[in-house]
Structures are given as C-alpha cells and as structure tokens.
Amino acid sequence: MNCEVCQLKELEVEHFEIREVLRCILHTIVFHRALGLVRPKDVDLELFEITYVQCGDVELEKKIDEKIDHFISWVEKHPNKKSQICLSFYEVKSKQPSWFTNKTERLYWEQWYINLNVTQHPKHHSSKSHHTKLVVDPGESATEERSSRRAMVEASLREVLFQIIKFVNEKKDHVPPISEGVIYFPYEITIPSSSDSAFGMDMIKRMLHSGHPTMLS
C-alpha cells in the first residue's frame, strides 16, 4: 500500500488566526476520512466567512484542540517561522517483533502537510513622526490593510479546502476498508518539536514504523 501525500498550499496567517485555520483544515480532512457513521456538524468560522464540517466526535475535537495548543506554544517560542503540521492516517499492523520495531506497526497510507507561515503584523512607524498630520491616516490604512489581508487569507483558506476536496475525490483507492464500529481511521498529528533535529528524528521514526521500502527491516 502506498502512502499518499498531499502538500497543502502554504497559508500566511497571524498568530491569532492559527487556531481557527488549523481547526478548519484538520477537521475537514478528518471528516473525509471518518467513514463510519457520523452526524455532521457545521461550524462557522468567526474570523472568516467559511463554514466547515466536523464529524461530530467529541474525543476527536479534544485531541485536535490539544495539538493546536501545542503548536501555538511552539509558534510563540519560534516566531516568524515557517512551520508544518502533519496529519497522518495509518493502519495498525501486527508485526513480528524485532529489536528494531515493536509488535505493532503503523502503516501510514495517507499524510497531509499543512504549511503555515506565521507572521507578526508589522506595526506602523508613521505614527511616531508627524503625529498630528497622520493621526487619522494610519488608522484608516491599517484598517484597510487588515481587511484586505483578511480577505486574502480567507481566499487562501478556501483554496486549501478545495484542494482537500479535490485530493479526497481523486485518491480513493488507497483508502483502507471501513471497519465495523470505527468512525474514523487512526490518525496522528505531528507538530514541529523544540528543535529541528528532533523533528527530523520524528520523521525517521515514522519511516521506521511505516516500513518504507528503502529501509532495511
């Protein structure tokens, strides 16, 4: 089974937009991969005029929110950095234990990479000088800039969602069969860790678990 990878379009978001954007994207992906009996739940974003769909599982929602909190913490420690969140779906396969691997292995059959560029909104320096003259202008231009920026982010997010739909529709064969009583496939959300090296180790770990053909078993 091959692992389908989807690299989503990079989004340039501000710190306060991270939570909503990540929730929207992650839940949309999971909804397409929660092939068990679900009661869809429409959620309207507050910052953007977008409605996404959740599968309605409370446990799933909690886990996603936890991961988002971790990511936000990481972003606060590493500001103005491009980051990547990986949502992976895997199958659990029992394997003969060896000194390399555990009894069970995860077979990742799909991975989604959410690329975010968290930026800090530049402050206006014009207010320092010519204060009396530009008292009004900075406010107006800032508002306009904010609204245009917000529209851009919304359009980009919409594109990302269309991208997900397109990918989901085009790639269906790799999806494992639906198990009885299982709402959604096992998944994993990977966020950047404290160091890049650790992030790299996570990738190696994943490869070991997935049984990449290049790896020697």
Partner 1 sequence: MEMDRESGKLEQIVSQFRSKILHVILDSRVPSLHHHHHQQQQESLSHSRVRKTDKWFNLVLGDRPPALENLNFSLRNLFDPMVIDIILVHRGSCSSSVDNLYSPSAPAAGPADETVIERWVVQYDCPRFIATPSGADACVSYKKIYKKSIILLRSLYTQMRLLPAYRIFKQLSSLSQTYNFDLVYKVSSFSHPFSREEESGMKEYIFAPVEALSGCLSVSVTYRATLSDFNLEPLVSLPPKIITDYVGSPTTDPMRSFPSSDKGAHATSFPLRGARPPSSSPFQRPHSWSSGFHRGFPSTKTQSLAGSPPVYRTSPKPYDIASPPTDLYGNRIQNQRVSTLQQVTAYDEYKSSPPFSPSASPSTPSYLSGTNPLRTRHCSETAPVTIPLPLTGRSTRYLSPNSSDPSRHSLPPLSPRSSKHDASSQESPSGIRSYRKIEALRAGESPSGLSNNYSAQKVVRDSKDDSGRFSALLSSSGSPRIGFSRSSSRLSFQDDMDDCEFSCPFDVDDVDVSDSSSQNTEGKKASEFTAQSNLVGKKSQDAAVGILVHMLRTAPPLRQDSSCYSTHSLRTEYEGGVSIASGFFMPRKTADALEELNSYREMKDLLLSKSGTRVVRKEEIK
Residues near partner 1 (CB under 8 A) are 28, 31-32, 35-40, 42, 49-53, 158, 161-162, 164-165, 168-170, 172, 175, 177-178
Q: Tell me if 64 sits within 8 A of 57, measured CB to CB.
A: no
Query: Residue 133 is encoded by which pair of tokens?
Result: 């003259």
Query: Residue 217 is encoded by which pair of tokens?
Result: 């078993």
What residue type is 147 in one-letter code? S
Q: Which is nearer to partner 1, 53 or 72 (CB)?
A: 53
Torsion of CA 22, 27, 29, 30, to 10 degrees: 140
Q: Tell me if 113 sits within 8 A of 82, measured CB to CB.
A: no
The rounded distance, in Å, linking the Cα atoms of 101 and 10 is 34
Classify strands 4-7 and 41-44 as parallel, antiparallel or unpaired: unpaired
In the bound complex, what is the minimum distance in angstroms from residue 33's beta carbon to partner 1? 9
Return the DSSP state at 76. Answer: H
User: How many Cβ atoms sit within 10 Å of the Cβ of residue 106?
Assistant: 20
In the bound complex, what is the minimum distance in angstroms from residue 51's beta carbon to partner 1? 4
Q: Which is nearer to partner 1, 177 or 213 (CB)?
A: 177
Q: Which is nearer to partner 1, 71 or 184 (CB)?
A: 184
* Residues facing 104 on adjacent strands: 94
In the bound complex, what is the minimum distance in angstroms from residue 207's beta carbon to partner 1? 27
What residue type is 139 in one-letter code? G
In the bound complex, what is the minimum distance in angstroms from residue 36's beta carbon to partner 1? 6
Q: Which is nearer to partner 1, 52 or 112 (CB)?
A: 52
Neighbouring residues of 19: CB distance < 8 A, sequence distance ≥ 6? 68, 72
Q: Which is nearer to partner 1, 81 or 171 (CB)?
A: 171
In the bound complex, what is the minimum distance in angstroms from residue 206's beta carbon to partner 1? 25
Q: Which is nearer to partner 1, 52 or 108 (CB)?
A: 52
In the bound complex, what is the minimum distance in angstroms from residue 102's beta carbon to partner 1? 29
Can you tell me which residue has the tokens 């936000």?
72
